[in-house]
């Protein structure tokens, strides 16, 4: 399990409007984290400002929040670039 790859694929799936794939990666990432697996190291930038590397605790909280959102998606929600 590569949590970095799982997070990237989860975010790509949400961006592409692929709910099933997003949920699949969210479930895998959540399971990995619950079993004590390492947290993907996240970097955040706002606009054109510098990039901030998040602490492990903040990266873990963000990862879990992303999983929560992906798993809560239902067919009525509009996603970017939604595929018919």
Q: What is the pLDDT of residues 11-55, one digit of tens each?
A: 999 888 888 899 999 999 999 999 999 999 898 888 888 888 999
Q: Where are the beta strands (DSSP E) in 1-84?
A: 43-45, 51-53
The answer as to whether 80 is a domain residue is no
pLDDT at 77 (0 to 100): 59
The answer as to whether 13 is a domain residue is yes
pLDDT at 75 (0 to 100): 58
pLDDT in tens, 5-18: 999 999 999 888 88
The answer as to whether 14 is a domain residue is yes
Number of domains making up the chain: 1
User: By residue range, what is the domain housing residue 28?
Assistant: 3-72
* Angle ∠(58,62,67) on CA atoms, nearest 5: 150
The answer as to whether 25 is a domain residue is yes
**Measuring CA to CA, which residue among 72, 11, 66 is closest to residue 33?**
66
pLDDT at 57 (0 to 100): 93
The answer as to whether 40 is a domain residue is yes
């Amino acid at each position: 399990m590569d949590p970095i790859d799982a997070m990237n694929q989860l975010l790509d799936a949400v961006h592409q409007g692929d709910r099933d794939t997003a949920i699949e990666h969210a479930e895998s990432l959540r399971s990995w984290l619950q079993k004590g697996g390492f947290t993907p190291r996240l970097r955040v930038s706002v606009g054109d400002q510098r990039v901030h590397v998040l602490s492990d605790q903040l990266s873990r909280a963000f990862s879990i929040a992303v999983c929560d959102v992906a798993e809560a998606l239902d067919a009525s929600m509009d996603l970017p670039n939604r595929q018919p």
